[in-house]
Amino acid sequence: ETGVTQSPTHLIKTRGQQVTLRCSSQSGHNTVSWYQQALGQGPQFIFQYYREEENGRGNFPPRFSGLQFPNYSSELNVNALELDDSALYLCASSSSQISYEQYFGPGTRLTVT
């Protein structure tokens, strides 16, 4: 059974640029959630995708957007990067949109300068 994978591992971008982060869900999982973890904080829910549709969103602006593909992998896109977007971005997959048990990938560390 393949776990959740994310790419890239690290990324450095300049303020105002755009970034795309990628996630492959665990085998058999059809739901992907994205979280932002700032330094010293717990992960914060960005949004969830179920069967290629957004299925819930946290308190993040529209410049945070996502996609889910037919194979259930997912992308997180952030436009007009700000310094405060520097964080660890975590992807988690689960077996359904109502399942509380989520399995996390190792994350992508984004630094905005």
Which among 11-19, 31-39, 60-68, 70-78 is the span making contact with other proteins, rule CB under 8 A? 31-39
For other proteins, the closer of residues 42 and 70 by Cβ is: 42
User: Residues 6 or more apart from 53 whose CB is under 8 A from it?
Assistant: 68
| Sole residue written with tokens 């945070």 | 64
d(CA 41, CA 74): 24
- Of these, 25, 26, 33, 68, which contacts other proteins (CB under 8 A)? 33
Which among 13-21, 62-70, 75-83, 102-110 is the span making contact with other proteins, rule CB under 8 A? 102-110
Minimum CB distance to other proteins, residue 104 (Å): 3
User: Between the CA of residue 25 and those of 3, 19, 43, 107, what are the distances in Å?
Assistant: 7, 20, 18, 13
d(CA 100, CA 80): 32
- Of these, 30, 64, 68, 107, which contacts other proteins (CB under 8 A)? 107
Scan residues 40-99 and list those touching other proteins (CB under 8 A). Answer: 40-45, 48, 56, 58, 90, 92, 94, 96-99
Helix (H) or strand (E) holding 78: strand 74-78
Residues that bind other proteins (CB under 8 A): 4, 31, 33, 35, 40-45, 48, 56, 58, 90, 92, 94, 96-107
